[in-house]
């Protein structure tokens, strides 16, 4: 299959790149300047493991809670010291190119958020080769529905995904929740350093364990589909976020995804039929991994963006 000649048309910038350049653009660790590529990946995992260990040791947590029947369909719930029935819930979907990572090394943000009264949920899903992308999307859908059913009086569910997790979280913009018999109280999306058009992945080594076809990639590309959707709640915010030191392709993907989100109408009589309340942020002086690692810090820029969004302080 000639993937360079298929899909979105010849205008897509990645289609003029060589195989070597595409591999480079879609290998985030190669763009880290503070560490070598392997050390960056190792450090990211270590920071996540340590943050998760602290969260489990020092806070109130419910671990490995099943949201489905399969072995890997579990999530961790971290509760604030004072946890009323009605509280905001931050749901995190980890990255790892759909083939590595886990909820057991993803609790970066637990301490800063729970200290401010926000519950945090980290979601497990079946990474490749055990799971395929359609299954992963379905698992994130069902985990989100589970959170709503378990905490029906929540003050808002805020979905956050990093890298591959941002693609999975963005697919929730397209979900027909009526099929699950529940409408999650979605108030915000934080889509961090994501991939929203999966077609370029077909041309890289990242696809080896995924076995994506062109049809798979198009079916799971929010970039191609989200412009057709409308929010159930016009106050729901979508924040598309990327690091200054992400690769140019990751930066392009984030900007173009933000641009396809239909904007709400400014006319009061049509506001409820408007589009997504979206914004774009490029965070200075962070790479693909720091942007999430720094969520362990209460004064981090992204931590503060998350808290201000949840508590509507803008």
pLDDT profile of the chain (314 residues), mean per 10? 40 90 97 95 97 94 97 96 89 97 98 97 97 97 98 97 98 93 96 98 96 97 82 89 98 95 57 71 98 98 98 75
* Residue that has been written with the tokens 């690692």 in this structure: 293
The percent of the chain in helix, strand and coil, each rounded to the nearest 5, is: 45, 15, 40
For strand 237-243 and strand 186-192, is the pairing parallel, antiparallel, or unpaired? Answer: parallel
CA proximity to 196, closest of 167, 174, 229, 176: 167
Give the C-alpha separation, 171 to 184, whole Å. 14
**Cis, peptide link before residue 129, omega less than 30° from 0:** yes
pLDDT at 1: 31
Residue 84 has what pLDDT?
Answer: 81
Looking at residue 59, what is its pLDDT?
84
Looking at the annotation, which residues are catalytic?
163, 246, 288
pTM recorded for the entire structure:
0.93
Q: What is the pLDDT of residue 274?
A: 52
Q: What are phi and psi of 89, to 5 degrees?
A: -125, 125
Query: CA 39 to CA 23: how far, in whole Å?
Result: 19
* Amino acid 125: pLDDT: 98
Give the C-alpha separation, 185 to 194, whole Å.
Answer: 23
Please report the domains of the chain, with CATH numbers, ordered by start residue.
Answer: 13-263+273-310 (3.40.50.1820)
Residue 230: per-residue pLDDT: 77
Positive or negative CA dihedral for 189, 192, 193, 199? negative
């Amino acid at each position: 299959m000639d993937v360079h000649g298929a899909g979105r048309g010849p205008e897509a910038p990645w289609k003029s790149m060589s195989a070597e350049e595409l591999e480079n653009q879609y290998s985030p660790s190669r763009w880290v300047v503070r560490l070598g590529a392997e050390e960056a990946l190792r450090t990211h995992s270590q920071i996540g493991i340590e943050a998760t260990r602290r969260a489990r040791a020092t806070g109130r947590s419910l671990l490995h809670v099943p949201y489905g029947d399969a072995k890997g369909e579990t999530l961790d719930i971290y509760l604030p010291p004072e946890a009323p029935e009605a509280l905001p819930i931050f749901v995190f979907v980890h990255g790892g190119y759909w083939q590595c990572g886990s909820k057991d090394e993803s609790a970066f943000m637990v301490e800063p958020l729970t200290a401010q009264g926000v519950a945090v949920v980290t979601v497990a899903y079946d990474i490749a080769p055990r799971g395929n992308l359609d299954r992963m999307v379905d698992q994130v859908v069902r985990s989100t529905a589970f959170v709503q059913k378990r905490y029906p009086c929540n003050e808002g569910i805020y979905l956050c995904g990093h890298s591959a997790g941002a693609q999975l979280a963005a697919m929730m913009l397209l979900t027909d929740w009526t099929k699950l018999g529940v409408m999650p109280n979605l108030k915000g999306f934080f889509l961090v350093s994501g991939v929203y058009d999966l077609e370029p992945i077909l041309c890289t080594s990242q696809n080896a364990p995924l076995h994506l076809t062109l049809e798979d990639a198009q079916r799971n590309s929010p970039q191609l589909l989200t412009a057709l959707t409308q929010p159930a709640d016009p106050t729901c915010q979508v924040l598309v976020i990327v690091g200054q030191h992400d690769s140019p392709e990751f930066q392009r993907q984030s900007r173009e995804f933000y641009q396809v989100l239909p904007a709400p109408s400014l006319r009061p009589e049509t506001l409820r039929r408007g589009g997504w309340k979206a914004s774009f942020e490029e965070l200075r002086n962070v790479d693909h991994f720091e942007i999430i690692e720094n969520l362990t810090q209460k004064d981090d820029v992204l931590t503060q963006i998350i808290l201000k969004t949840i508590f509507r302080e803008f």
